[in-house]
Structure formats: structure tokens, C-alpha cells
């Protein structure tokens, strides 16, 4: 029933090692069906190389298994919390990629220092707060999703304009309109984090990118009059303006 979604999600997960985003089995990608009733996600602790579409687990938005023999990723409740609160997104990617994790564990946002950052994230990559002992005990994974959503609500952030976050003490989550786009944003986040880290080693407070260049770069790729790539990207209805 969910063959195409499962194939897309399997393929998105299998790409993670070649993209240098995962160590061992530290990462997982999911995608949601068009009617938003079914989420396909990587099974827990299974290696990427051997992952076949039939290994992918399908759950509903409450976490009930709809299809699949294996246990879903332990991070499934985090993914589901994101799908429930961010109706614009179609895929979620969680990794522990090195540089994004360094910023997560240092509990620092990543300022926008250049145009590659601006191409993907309008402004700093945000950071969540730390979970409380009670939140960890009562539902570690679902509450991880909730503090991400809280960070976006409090900060007035649009999930498609800022398609990722750093969870304090943990690591990055990214998302996009599809599982594949979630992975691409994980790649972009890791490279942006790497470049920022290398800059911060030489200077503790580098100049951030001029706001008018940030906005120009983001909008030529994602704004209502986008002209990057082969298709109009302004499929978001012109809502994805970057107000840095």
C-alpha cells in the first residue's frame, strides 16, 4: 500500500553513509504520505547498506504500526511530533553529523556567516532548550519533538524557511517537503556548521553576512521570484520570504 513512500524513505536512508552524515546506525529519515495519515521510517538499529523498502516501518501519526515487521526507530515519536505541528513538511532527517553535533553539544546557534548558509537557512540555525528531568522521564523522544516545535513557535520561525534545528546536548534535525529534501538540508546544515566552526577557530566573533545579501541569496533560491534551478521553487505560495 505504501510502496512508493517506503521506496523513497529506504533510498533516503541508504544515502546517509555516502553523504558522510552518519556513524554506525546514528541517524534516520522518514517521510509522510500525501494525506498525512502514514509515516514511513527506518527500523531501529539496522544498518543502512542492507536496508530494503520492505524493511521500512509505516506508522500513523499516533505511532501505531500500519505496516512492517521490524521495530521503528526509537526516534519515531520525535518525527511524529514534527509532522503533527509542521503541516508544510513531508520528510524529516535526524543525524549526528560531526559539526552540527558540535554546535548542538556546545549549545550554540550557528550564525549566518555566508551565502551558502543563506541559500538554505534564512538567519541563524536555531537551538532548542534542554529537556527537564520530568520531560525525559515522561517521554524523552516525543518531548524532543515538542521542544523543537516550541523553539519555532517562540521564535516565530517558519519551518520551510528555517528547515532545521539543533537539539541542545544532542544533535541536528532537518526537514523538507520530502524525505530527499530533508536529507539535502542535513547535508547543507553539516557543511554550514563546518564552515562556521572553522571560522570561529580563527576569530571568536566573525562578521555575519550583510542582511541584504542573506535575503537576496535565500530568495533567489526559495522566494516567490526564485530563479535558481530548473523549476520555479515558489511552490510554497510566496510565503517563504526571508526576513533576516
Binding stretches for a copy of itself (CB under 8 A):
23-24, 26, 43-46, 70-71, 74, 96, 98-99, 101-102, 104-107, 113-116, 119, 130-131, 133, 136-137, 140, 169-171, 184, 187-188, 191, 194-195, 197-203, 206-207, 209-210, 212-213, 216, 220, 227-230
Q: Please name which of 126, 133, 171, 123 lies closest in space to residue 150, comparing C-alpha atoms.
A: 126
Alpha-carbon span 183 to 214, nearest angstrom: 22
Question: Which of 119, 140, 205, 227 is an active site residue?
Answer: 119
- CA angle (194 as vertex; 143, 189 as ends), nearest 5: 45
C-alpha cell at 147: 521542544
Q: Please, what is the minimum distance in Å from the beta carbon of residue 160 to a copy of itself?
A: 17
The CA R_g of the chain, rounded to the nearest whole Å, is 17
**Catalytic residue check, 205:** no
Q: How far apart are CA 74 and CA 38, in angstroms?
A: 17
**Of 34 and 62, which has the nearer Cβ to a copy of itself?**
62
Q: Is 83 annotated as catalytic?
A: no
Closer of 35 and 173 to a copy of itself (Cβ): 173
Residue 63 CB, nearest approach to a copy of itself (Å): 13
Closest to a copy of itself by CB, 33 vs 63, is 63
The residue from 83, 140, 227, 228 that is catalytic is: 228
Question: How far does Cα 167 stand from its chain's mean position?
Answer: 11
Q: How far apart are CA 32 and CA 59, in angstroms?
A: 10
| Minimum gap (Å) between residue 143 Cβ and a copy of itself | 11
Smallest gap from Cβ 87 to a copy of itself, in A, equals 26
CB pairs under 8 A, 24+ apart, for 10-15?
10/51, 10/52, 10/53, 10/55, 10/56, 11/180, 12/91, 12/93, 12/179, 12/180, 12/182, 12/183, 13/42, 13/48, 13/51, 13/56, 14/48, 14/49, 14/51, 15/183
Least gap, CB of 123 to a copy of itself (angstroms): 15
Q: Give the chain's length.
A: 244
Identity of the residue, 82 or 188, whose beta carbon is nearer to a copy of itself in the bound complex: 188
Closer to a copy of itself by CB, 33 or 115: give it. 115
Residues with active-site annotation: 119, 228
Amino acid at each position: 500500500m505504501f510502496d512508493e513512500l517506503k521506496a523513497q524513505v529506504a533510498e533516503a536512508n541508504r544515502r546517509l553513509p555516502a553523504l558522510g552524515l552518519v556513524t554506525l546506525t546514528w541517524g534516520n529519515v522518514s517521510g509522510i504520505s500525501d494525506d498525512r495519515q502514514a509515516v514511513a521510517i527506518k527500523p531501529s538499529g539496522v544498518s543502512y547498506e542492507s536496508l530494503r523498502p520492505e524493511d521500512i516501518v509505516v506508522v500513523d501519526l499516533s505511532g501505531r504500526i500500519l505496516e512492517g515487521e521490524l521495530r521503528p526507530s526509537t526516534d519515531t515519536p520525535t518525527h511524529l511530533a514534527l509532522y503533527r505541528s509542521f503541516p508544510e513538511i513531508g520528510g524529516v532527517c535526524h543525524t549526528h553529523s560531526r559539526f552540527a553535533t558540535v554546535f548542538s553539544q556546545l549549545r550554540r546557534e550557528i550564525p549566518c556567516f555566508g551565502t551558502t548558509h543563506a541559500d538554505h537557512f534564512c538567519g541563524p540555525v536555531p537551538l532548542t532548550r534542554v529537556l527537564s528531568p520530568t520531560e525525559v522521564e515522561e517521554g524523552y523522544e516525543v518531548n524532543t519533538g515538542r521542544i523543537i516545535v516550541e523553539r519555532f513557535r517562540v521564535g516565530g520561525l517558519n519551518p520551510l524557511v528555517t528547515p532545521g534545528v539543533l537539539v541542545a546536548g544532542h544533535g541536528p534535525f532537518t526537514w523538507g517537503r520530502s524525505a530527499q529534501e530533508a536529507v539535502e538540508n542535513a547535508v547543507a546544515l553539516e557543511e554550514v556548521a563546518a564552515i562556521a566552526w572553522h571560522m570561529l577557530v580563527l576569530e571568536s566573533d566573525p562578521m555575519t553576512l550583510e542582511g541584504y545579501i542573506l535575503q537576496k541569496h535565500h530568495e533567489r533560491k526559495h522566494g516567490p521570484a526564485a530563479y535558481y534551478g530548473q523549476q520555479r521553487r515558489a511552490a510554497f505560495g510566496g510565503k517563504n520570504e526571508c526576513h533576516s
